[in-house]
Amino acid sequence: MRHRPLGRTGIHVSPYCLGAMMFGKVANADHDECVRIVHKALDFGINFIDTADAYSQGDSEVIVGKALKGRRDHVVLATKASLPMGDDPNQCGGSRRWITRAVEDSLRRLQTDHIDVYQIHRPSPETDVEETLSVLTDLTRAGKIRAFGASTFPASDIVEAQWIAERRGLARFRTEQPPYSILNRSIEREVLPTCQRFGMGVMAWSPLAKGMLTGKYRKGERQPDSLRVKFFPKAMSDEGSLNAVEKLIPVAESAGISLMHMALAFVVSHPALTAAIIGPRTLEQLDGLLAGAEVVLTDEILDRIDGIVPPGVDVAPLERAAYSPPSIIQTASRRRPIVERAAA
């Protein structure tokens, strides 16, 4: 596979990144099979692997660590922290206290002495971003991480972090990992232009819209028995998504490719995108994903896709995987006090 620059980090990675979210007790508890998936991906030419401490509560990192024995030097290894890793309220977030502990735990599970790209899994509004950038800068200088980034951050948070890094003399976010697919294009409005402005590498998660773009989910047909349906029941039965899929399938067929391969090629065709994260659960799924690695979409096909799902528009709900800021999830942030409203 041809490698691409990961922003301006000087690191080069494959346009497909092997995501390890499906590795571990939540999805595929067979460590040996997961190791074989990693090895097959590496043999194919993928040199980029993304996991997180929260995936199966560390089990995914353990599997990746096993798989990379003897091959670590040729892999760009990314992991994430900040989601809860226990009932203790201090076992999450972007504080110095937690990140210092979390990175050591990840290094141990991954059986490595450094992480190439360490990411903050979701924004932590209760933590001053300067606190987070400060500890990540120290970890970089200590050699425990090579670069760091964010995941699913709003454009305003990315800009604020860049500004604070410059003003305080701290290292800055070098990557962003947002959701992006044919059915989820809202990041085209602000997030992707912002990443381009700051020279950030971008790895897209859920390029198949949680599996909706595999072609297995069709309007009027019975849903397959899958983990996606279990975890994201609303998203996998969303009428708007299913309607879009029915219009997209003929476009893929006219190009002589599958909907899944068209969806992956769409993501990596964007000039701001470094890589699409593929997350196979089985070897069979990996084979299917890799079969479309050489697909390149023509302008005509891209125009037809734009006609179905316009640029900058989200058709599919992200459901639980989305990030909702306090202004949305906290009722008090959206309503004036009763006394003030009554006076008005």
pLDDT band at 342; cut points 50, 70, 90: low
pLDDT band at 192; cut points 50, 70, 90: very high
Residue 79's CB: how many other CB atoms inside 10 A? 29
Residue 181, pLDDT above cutoff 60: yes
Position 318 scores a pLDDT of 76
Q: Which two tokens stand for residue 1?
A: 């596979």
Q: Based on the residue annotation, tell me whether 55 is a catalytic residue of this protein.
A: yes
pLDDT in tens, 218-244: 877 777 767 776 677 777 778 889 999
pLDDT band at 344; cut points 50, 70, 90: low
What integer is the mean pLDDT of 150-164? 97
- Cβ neighbours of residue 142 closer than 8 Å, sequence gap 6 or more: none
Residue 254, pLDDT above cutoff 60: yes
Residue 341, pLDDT above cutoff 70: no
| Domains, the chain | 4-343 (3.20.20.100)
Position 215 scores a pLDDT of 87
Distances from the Cα of 303 to the Cαs of 226, 248, 249, 298, 300, in angstroms? 32, 12, 15, 9, 5
Residue 340, pLDDT above cutoff 70: no
Mean pLDDT, all residues of the chain: 93
What integer is the mean pLDDT of 141-166? 98
Mean pLDDT is lowest, of 95-99, 113-117, 182-186, 227-231, for 227-231
Percent of the chain scored above 70 by pLDDT?
96
What integer is the mean pLDDT of 98-121? 98
Position 223 scores a pLDDT of 73
DSSP 202: E
pLDDT band at 124; cut points 50, 70, 90: very high
pTM above 0.85, yes or no: yes
Which one of 16, 55, 118, 323 is the catalytic residue? Answer: 55
pLDDT in tens, 43-94: 999 999 999 999 999 999 999 999 999 999 999 999 999 999 999 999 999 9
Position 230 scores a pLDDT of 66
Q: Which two tokens stand for residue 127?
A: 């933590």
pLDDT in tens, 284-323: 999 999 999 999 999 999 999 999 999 999 998 876 667 8
d(CA 242, CA 245): 5
Position 329 scores a pLDDT of 80
d(CA 199, CA 217): 37
Nearest to 191 by CA among 73, 273, 308, 292: 273
d(CA 170, CA 163): 10
Position 324 scores a pLDDT of 78
Position 343 scores a pLDDT of 55
Nearest to 84 by CA among 61, 57, 105: 57
